[in-house]
Amino acid sequence: IEALPPFGKWRLGWSWAWGLIAALLLGQLAAALGAAGTSGWLVQSAASNVIMMYMMLYTVMGASVAWGVMEHYKISVAFRIFLLIMFYMTPPFTWAFALAGLLDGWADFRKLLSRKR
């Protein structure tokens, strides 16, 4: 069994975003069409659950980006953990983690950071 890479190097490709886009479009389509009854509620609920799953996944990937950046600047492991917990408990930073995880699929922030050396 192959070992997982270090947390600071975890990354999702850009193609994962298509699942999020599809769930967002499905939820909007169901709401716009005014899907009534059990089937409409079921479609909106399924789309909402998929969106929440992607948000959690991208939040973890954003934390991985933050970990990799802090690792680059040689911040101690204990302080990294402390900072990640504090940032995660602050709502704007939670969304920033998710956005960083999403955009990392295209931008690869850690690679950009290593180019600046």
pLDDT in tens, 85-111: 999 999 888 899 999 999 998 888 888
Name the pTM for this structure.
Answer: 0.84
74 pLDDT band (50/70/90 cuts)?
very high
pLDDT in tens, 17-61: 999 999 999 888 887 776 555 567 788 888 999 999 999 999 999
Cβ atoms < 10 Å from Cβ of 38: 8
Residue 117 has pLDDT above 60, yes or no: no
Residues 67, 76 contacting (CB under 8 angstroms):
no
Residue 116 has pLDDT above 70, yes or no: no
SS (H, E, C) the chain: CCCCCCHHHCCCCHHHHHHHHHHHHHHHHHHHCCCCHHHHHHHHHHHHHHHHHHHHHHHHHHHHHHHHHHHHCCCCHHHHHHHHHHHHCCHHHHHHHHHHHHHHHHHCHHHHHHHCC
CA distance 71 to 50: 31
Instruction: Report the pLDDT value the prediction gives residue 42, as an integer from 0 to 100.
Output: 81
Residue 15 has pLDDT above 80, yes or no: yes
